[in-house]
Amino acid sequence: MYRELLLLGVLRQRQMHGYELHEFINRDLAFCTDIKKPTAYHLLQKMAEQGWITEIPEPNPPTNRPPRTVYQLTEAGEATFLDYLRQNLATYSPSYFNGDVGIAFIEALPSDEACALLEQRKIALTVALNALHVPHGEAHTKGGMSLIIEHQKRHLSTELAWLDEVISRIRTQP
């Protein structure tokens, strides 16, 4: 349901056509989701059926290109947006870390190898963390966006610290 909230929230700022919307999400909201293009189109269609958005054929269709469909929030859409937003803010929905699955079975490998593999993971994590210090979209500097980047930063730091703990525990035990 957070996907609908995301789409409504973006369309609330300004109307867009499908492709544009997907690009925007995958560039500026990549921390929030990795929604795929066909999924975005599918959700837009469903939301149009619900009456939350209207599908407008492109205003001035440039005769040569196939006409694009522009999506625009309706009043019902605005109401749904606010409803979903309140629900989202008021609740905590747990996240799953698929990296944990490997840790659960880590004893299946000799500890030397396990440590070497986790060192690789650490490098990947460090790369992700460093990439955060260079914000690359102007949308990132304003509003809730900076809060999300701060969140991501704290999360990755915590991951790194925990990984160190894991590695050292494995080194000192069998």
Partner DNA sequence: CATAAATTAGTCAATCCTGACTATTCAATT
Partner DNA sequence: AATTGAATAGTCAGGATTGACTAATTTATG
For residue 29, the minimal CB distance to DNA (Å) is 15
The interface partner of residue 66, options being a copy of itself, DNA, none and the CB cut-off 5 to 8 Å by kind, is DNA
Is residue 64 involved in binding a copy of itself (CB under 8 A)? no
DSSP secondary structure string, 37-100?
HHHHHHHHHHHHHHTSEEEEE-SS--TTSPPPEEEEE-HHHHHHHHHHHHHHHH-------THH
Distance CA 32, CA 167 (A): 29
Q: Token pair for residue 135?
A: 């914000």
Binding mask 119-138 for a copy of itself (x = CB under 8 A): -xx--xx--x----------
Binding mask 20-59 for DNA (x = CB under 7 A): x--x----------xxxxxx-xxx--x-------------
For residue 162, the minimal CB distance to a copy of itself (Å) is 5
Q: What is the DSSP letter of 29?
A: S
For residue 47, the minimal CB distance to a copy of itself (Å) is 15
